[in-house]
Chains A and B, each alone.
Chain A
């Protein structure tokens, strides 16, 4: 059995692939083959079959490293894991059916066949799941880093005036980071006025407002003042509806206006000079 199955797969490869494709079409409609270019399907399924053959003929270690490579490549193709699992299942179903038809397996030796089957399908499934979850974990941690890099740095613009542009959703973790960067930056740059720009914050709810108010209080404690700029009209309306009191803030709709105010607060202004 250990020799017969790979031999069979090897010699009937074209037919197996044909029937497997048919099965995939029944399950997923033409959509399946639309998202995958023909030559990719052809190449991948041949490779897959080759892998099975090699599992059954070569030693374990060789199979494992090939399997690993194959799984990684599958993941990179960007297909959904459900689809790949279905493809594996359909492939083994097809082989099974054809082995019956060819009378390679029968009632008396079918148990033996399942043993062989287990040897290649289970590790394959596990490897594919592992490869997917590794990719996801990697993606998530990279995105976390990317998000942290996006998170709020305080930019000194002119002497005594700094700007912190906030972009994206503010969760508890980011709120903490904003506070830290803000205070550390104010001290380091000797800022007297800090402009918090919320143009890029999609939703200002009570939690975000609360964090902003706390940040402003903390900034006051280190001897500077905080201005809230970039308040879009719809955000201004929701803030009012929420009943949030921003009276202690100087607020402006644009960063530009805020900058003028900040300069005024530090007794300066922008003037045009003639040549």
Chain B
């Protein structure tokens, strides 16, 4: 099993805890300042979406090592309402909360790989990966 650690999201301050965890892991893996900022910002977006739209959930951070290439995976999962139209939430400016609607498309651009698994009424799991080059 790859090394995984996680933070449960219940309050706004848990977002800060998740960010901190991600930054520490990113540092350990060897990411530079710019990538550290990208990774923490992505975590912040995903954690806040959990807090806002699902209420509770968790952020897991996994260290990756694929054939000697290191990376970090952010796995954001919740059992909230799910996302009805995945294509729509990936559009810049789409928001149901009066936000900027920049979070989801932003995370996709901040990271290397991005995947959404969601089912209406069941919940959402978003996996975002950054590789160390």
Q: Is the CB of B45 within 8 A of A237?
A: no
Residue B100 is within 8 A (CB to CB) of chain A in the complex: yes
| Number of A-B residue pairs with CB-CB distance less than 8 Å in the complex they form | 66
Query: Which residue in B16, B19, B34, B102 is a CB contact (below 8 Å) of A242?
Result: B102
Q: Beta-carbon contacts of A193-236 to B below 8 Å, as 1s and 0s? A: 00000000011111101100100000000000000000001110
CA distance A238 to B11 in the complex (A): 24
Chain A residues within 8 Å of B100, by CB: 206, 209-210, 213, 244
Q: Beta-carbon contacts of A51-76 to B below 8 Å, as 1s and 0s? A: 00000000000000000000000000
B38, chain A: closest CB distance, angstroms = 6
Chain B residues within 8 Å of A202, by CB: 19, 40
Interface of B is mostly: helix
Residue B6 is within 8 A (CB to CB) of chain A in the complex: no
B39, chain A: closest CB distance, angstroms = 10
B48, chain A: closest CB distance, angstroms = 6
Q: Is the CB of A241 within 8 A of B110?
A: yes
Chain B residues within 8 Å of A235, by CB: 37
Query: Which residue in A210, A233, A234, A243 is a CB contact (below 8 Å) of B106?
Result: A243
Count residues of A near B (Cβ-Cβ below 8 Å).
21
User: Given that A237-B34, A241-B106, A243-B109 are contacting pairs, would A207 and B48 also be in contact in the complex, using a CB cutoff of 8 Å?
Assistant: yes
For B92, the closest partner residue in chain A by CB is A243
Which residues B88-113 have CB closer than 8 A to chain A? 92, 99-100, 102-103, 105-106, 109-110
CA distance A172 to B106 in the complex (A): 21
For A210, the closest partner residue in chain B by CB is B100
B91, chain A: closest CB distance, angstroms = 11
A224, chain B: closest CB distance, angstroms = 23
Which residues B37-51 have CB closer than 8 A to chain A? 37-38, 40-41, 44-45, 48
Q: Is the CB of A204 within 8 A of B92?
A: no
Q: Is the CB of B40 within 8 A of A206?
A: no
Taking Cβ atoms with an 8 Å cutoff, the residues of A that contact B are 169, 171-172, 202-207, 209-210, 213, 233-235, 237-238, 241-244
Taking Cβ atoms with an 8 Å cutoff, the residues of B that contact A are 12-13, 16, 19, 33-34, 36-38, 40-41, 44-45, 48, 92, 99-100, 102-103, 105-106, 109-110
